[in-house]
């Protein structure tokens, strides 16, 4: 309930307080593991309900399979809260303070593992519920903010049983984190570079319709508008152009004709991969930078591909039993090399993260060539009512961590301009057509997290573990 779109984070903290109480009272390690696992199962099954809606747009598979997929995924994801609960029970008992400290330590480790194992699924780390007050992420990252939420829940659990001293001690790190957030630097003035962020409101069931092909293109064109006076950076969503731009000069010229002489278009599209004989063998989910002369200035290829969305794992086996990708087509996408920065004439340096690449804390920026801002083209049109606002919240946390503005353009929303403090400056609401004309926010100097990445939450975890050990060894 604490995640978007509801945002009822006090309820989430109360629930975790209840989980901590269950772990503390568990009669055995097995019962502590079970408490964590069942908690995680409910947590993920409800929070990831948007995955089920993705199956509504692929008629090659039964739509009810979406809910089975959500439960099956949650059965696996619940292993990570179970592991954190088991570690807390084994190394934190019998006192509530060390148990909470170990639980927070283990939560950092298990959340990082969840984002890493088997290509990783980093969606909705606990710290995202505190995105509105999450500026501490500049120093300890999202996983560190998750640990702060655990400590707050431990303090609530202590209050619930009248342990006021324990509650006060657990609140000390939260107070310190609050003081640190007050040290956040002021944002520099916005740049004079202008953005035009387009949201055409093309739903997933319209995207691949032959009858609506030209209608969809017209939506993009009309919302882009024409402006000849001042340079604009025009931003279109993921896979906005259904043409192979690198191979189709006519398409490049047609779209570049929409631009003013100094405009640049950043748009999602496919890059085709052919073998030595010219046969099409694969594709890449790409972002193209196109100027007014029809030249492709840069191309970014998505690195962190979505299993079952952009490729079918174990295709020879799964295709036999009738499974297919959720996106129409039988050809798999190939991954790109990872975060890269590109110089865009007149607009500085841009880093690109396509769709759910933006959710991976510490993996969104080329640290050797820090960009001035990040562009996150996405297609959230098949993720129901809960997926888009959750995606936006995670993009906001990346902006806080890295001290960089992030621009999002999606077909159906939520498109947004996010400043380096994680504040949404402008947005087009979900399922509305529209465009944002706004100045590009300026970046902050590199944050501590931008310099050291996820080393910082692990150092925070070591500090919490050391305090837990000290408390356990201290005579009552």
**pLDDT tens by residue, 158-172:** 998 888 888 888 888
Q: Where are the domains of the chain?
A: 9-185+453-473, 194-444
Q: How far apart are CA 295 and CA 272, in angstroms?
A: 17
Own/partner pairs, 334-337, CB within 8 angstroms, 24+ separation: 334/273, 334/282, 334/283, 334/284, 334/301, 335/284, 335/301, 335/302, 335/303, 335/304, 335/305, 336/284, 336/286, 336/300, 336/301, 336/302, 336/303, 337/301, 337/303
For residues 224-249, give the mean pLDDT: 87
Instruction: Please give the angle made by the CA atoms of 431, 434 and 440, to the nearest 5 degrees.
Output: 120
Comparing 58-72, 95-109, 213-227, the range with the smallest average pLDDT is: 58-72
**Model pLDDT, residue 100:** 95
Higher pLDDT, 374 or 183: 374
Instruction: Identify the band that residue 118 occupies on the pLDDT scale cut at 50, 70 and 90.
Output: confident
Q: Select, from the ranges 80-84, 334-338, 471-475, the one with the highest average predicted confidence (pLDDT).
A: 80-84
* Active-site position among 206, 238, 357, 402: 238
For residues 145-157, give the mean pLDDT: 95
- Decide if pLDDT at 188 tops 50: yes
* Active-site position among 206, 302, 310, 401: 302
* Active-site position among 24, 111, 206, 355: 355
**Model pLDDT, residue 175:** 82
**Model pLDDT, residue 134:** 82
Is-catalytic flag, 15?
Answer: no
- Decide if pLDDT at 329 tops 90: no
- Decide if pLDDT at 473 tops 80: no
Instruction: Identify the band that residue 52 occupies on the pLDDT scale cut at 50, 70 and 90.
Output: confident
Helix boundaries (H) for 225-322: 249-256, 315-318
Percent of residues, the chain, with pLDDT higher than 90: 63
Alpha carbon 241 to chain centroid, angstroms: 23
Type and span of the H or E element at 271: strand 264-274
Give the chain's mean pLDDT: 89
- Decide if pLDDT at 443 tops 70: yes
Comparing 57-66, 75-84, 113-122, 132-141, the range with the smallest average pLDDT is: 57-66
For residues 322-339, give the mean pLDDT: 69
**Model pLDDT, residue 57:** 64
- Note the residue count of the chain: 476
- Decide if pLDDT at 308 tops 50: yes
Instruction: Identify the band that residue 317 occupies on the pLDDT scale cut at 50, 70 and 90.
Output: very low
Pick the CATH number of 194-444 from 3.60.110.10, 3.40.50.11540, 3.30.565.10, 3.40.50.300: 3.60.110.10
- Decide if pLDDT at 412 tops 90: yes
**Model pLDDT, residue 79:** 97
For residues 297-321, give the mean pLDDT: 69
Q: How far apart are CA 54 and CA 388, in angstroms?
A: 12
Is-catalytic flag, 302?
Answer: yes
Own/partner pairs, 185-188, CB within 8 angstroms, 24+ separation: 185/444, 185/445, 187/419, 187/420, 187/421, 187/441, 187/442, 187/444, 188/442, 188/443, 188/444
Is-catalytic flag, 355?
Answer: yes
Percent of residues, the chain, with pLDDT higher than 70: 92
Q: Convert the pLDDT of each residue in 11-38 to its tens digit.
A: 999 999 999 999 999 999 999 999 999 9
**Model pLDDT, residue 347:** 94
> Which residues, including other chains, have CB under 8 Å from residue 23's CB and lie 6 or more apart?
32, 35, 36, 85, 88, 89, 92, 99, 103
**Model pLDDT, residue 278:** 84
Sign of CA dihedral 431, 433, 437, 440: positive
For residues 359-385, give the mean pLDDT: 93
Comparing 35-49, 59-73, 142-156, the range with the smallest average pLDDT is: 59-73
For residues 370-397, give the mean pLDDT: 94
> Which residues, including other chains, have CB under 8 Å from residue 398's CB and lie 6 or more apart?
353, 358, 359, 361, 364, 374, 404, 406
Instruction: Identify the band that residue 397 occupies on the pLDDT scale cut at 50, 70 and 90.
Output: very high
Comparing 81-85, 141-145, 223-227, 372-376, the range with the smallest average pLDDT is: 223-227
Is the pTM higher than 0.95? The answer reads no
């Amino acid at each position: 309930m604490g995640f978007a779109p509801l945002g009822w984070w006090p309820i989430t903290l109360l629930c975790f307080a209840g989980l901590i109480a269950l772990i503390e009272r568990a009669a055995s390690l097995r019962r502590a593991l079970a408490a964590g696992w069942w908690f995680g199962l409910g947590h993920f099954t409800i929070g990831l309900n948007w995955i089920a809606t993705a199956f509504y747009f692929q008629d090659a598979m039964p739509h009810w399979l979406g809910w089975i997929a959500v439960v099956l995924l949650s059965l696996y994801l619940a292993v990570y809260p179970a592991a954190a609960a088991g570690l807390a029970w084994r190394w934190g008992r019998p006192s509530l303070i060390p148990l909470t400290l170990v639980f927070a330590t283990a939560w950092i480790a298990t959340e990082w593992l969840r984002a890493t194992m088997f290509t990783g699924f980093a969606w909705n780390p606990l710290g995202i519920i505190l995105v509105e007050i999450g500026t501490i992420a500049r120093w300890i990252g999202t996983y560190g903010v998750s640990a702060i939420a655990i400590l707050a829940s431990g303090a609530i659990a202590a209050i619930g049983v009248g342990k006021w001293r324990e509650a006060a001690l657990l609140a000390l790190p939260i107070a310190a984190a609050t003081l640190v957030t007050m040290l956040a630097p002021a944002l520099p003035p916005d740049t004079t570079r202008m953005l035009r962020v387009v949201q055409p409101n093309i739903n997933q069931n319209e995207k691949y319709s032959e009858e609506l092909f030209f209608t969809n293109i017209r939506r993009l064109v009309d919302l882009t508008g024409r402006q000849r006076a001042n340079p604009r950076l025009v931003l279109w969503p993921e896979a906005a152009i259904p043409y192979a731009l690198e191979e189709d000069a006519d398409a490049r010229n047609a779209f570049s004709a929409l631009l003013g002489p100094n405009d640049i278009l950043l748009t999602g599209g496919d890059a085709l991969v052919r073998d030595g004989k010219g046969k099409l063998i694969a594709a890449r989910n790409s972002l193209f930078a196109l100027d007014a002369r029809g030249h492709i200035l840069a191309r970014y290829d998505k690195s962190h591909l979505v299993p079952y969305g952009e490729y079918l794992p174990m295709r020879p086996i799964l295709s036999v039993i009738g499974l297919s990708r959720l996106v129409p087509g039988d050809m798999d996408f190939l991954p790109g090399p990872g975060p890269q920065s590109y110089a865009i004439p007149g607009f500085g340096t841009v880093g690109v993260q396509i769709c759910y690449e933006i959710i991976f804390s510490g993996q969104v920026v080329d640290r050797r060539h820090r960009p001035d801002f990040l562009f996150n083209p996405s297609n959230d049109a098949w993720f129901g009512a809960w997926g888009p606002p959750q995606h936006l919240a995670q993009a906001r946390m990346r902006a806080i961590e890295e001290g960089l503005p992030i621009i999002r353009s999606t077909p159906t929303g939520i498109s947004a301009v996010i400043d380096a403090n994680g504040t949404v400056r402008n947005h087009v609401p979900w399922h509305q057509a529209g465009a944002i004309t706004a100045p590009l926010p300026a970046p902050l100097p590199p944050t501590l997290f931008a310099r050291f990445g996820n080393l910082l939450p692990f150092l925070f975890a070591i500090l919490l573990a050391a305090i837990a050990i000290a408390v356990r060894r201290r005579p009552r």
